[in-house]
């Protein structure tokens, strides 16, 4: 079965960068928590990174949903700009390109059907 391999690999790689950026964002949150600024917002970067990696895996495992996985990847790439420094912008770009490729991917055609027309005499009657 054909799969959008390039899109899935780019999304996976970008998800790793976003996960690293989310970890950095969570560390900033931990430092701010020492000064009394408590917020769960800093953990969103980790969640976005993990979800992006999951979407990349789903692109490879369930290629029939390539348009859905691609759209989710694009949304997660945009969200990563806010909550994970965009994976230092490298992750954002990789996931964005991978998501667009997944949306645009077309499965190969297995066979080509041809139809031939034959003239048929009208019924006599």
Q: What is the DSSP letter of 86?
A: G
What mean pLDDT is predicted for residues 2-8?
Answer: 96
Q: What is the mean pLDDT of the segment spanning 65-84?
A: 96
pTM of this structure: 0.85
Matching residue, tokens 């290629």 = 63
Q: Does 48 map to a domain?
A: yes
61 lies in a domain?
yes
Count: domains in the chain: 1
pLDDT band at 39 (very low <50, low <70, confident <90, very high): confident
* Average pLDDT of span 39-52: 91
DSSP 27-48: HHHHHHHHTT---GGGGHHHHH
Query: Range of 66's domain?
Result: 5-104
In a domain, 68, yes or no: yes
**Is 119 inside a domain boundary?**
no
Q: Who contacts 88 (Cβ-Cβ below 8 Å, separation ≥6)?
A: 17, 20, 21
Band (113; pLDDT cuts 50, 70, 90): confident
40 in any annotated domain? yes
User: Would you say residue 80 lies in a domain?
Assistant: yes
Q: How far is the CA of 1 from the CAs of 29, 107, 108, 121, in angstroms?
A: 44, 9, 9, 44
pLDDT in tens, 55-66: 999 999 999 999
Domain presence at residue 117: no
């Amino acid at each position: 079965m054909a799969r959008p391999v390039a899109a899935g690999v780019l999304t996976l790689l970008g998800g790793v960068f976003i996960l690293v950026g989310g970890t950095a964002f969570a560390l900033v949150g931990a430092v701010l928590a020492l000064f009394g600024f408590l917020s769960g917002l800093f953990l969103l970067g980790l969640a976005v990174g993990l979800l992006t990696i999951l979407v990349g895996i789903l692109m490879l495992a369930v290629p029939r949903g390539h348009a859905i996985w691609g759209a989710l990847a694009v949304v997660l790439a945009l969200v990563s700009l806010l909550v994970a420094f965009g994976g230092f912008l490298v992750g954002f770009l990789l996931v964005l390109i991978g998501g667009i490729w997944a949306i645009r991917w077309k499965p190969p055609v297995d066979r080509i059907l041809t139809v031939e027309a034959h003239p048929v005499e009208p019924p006599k009657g």
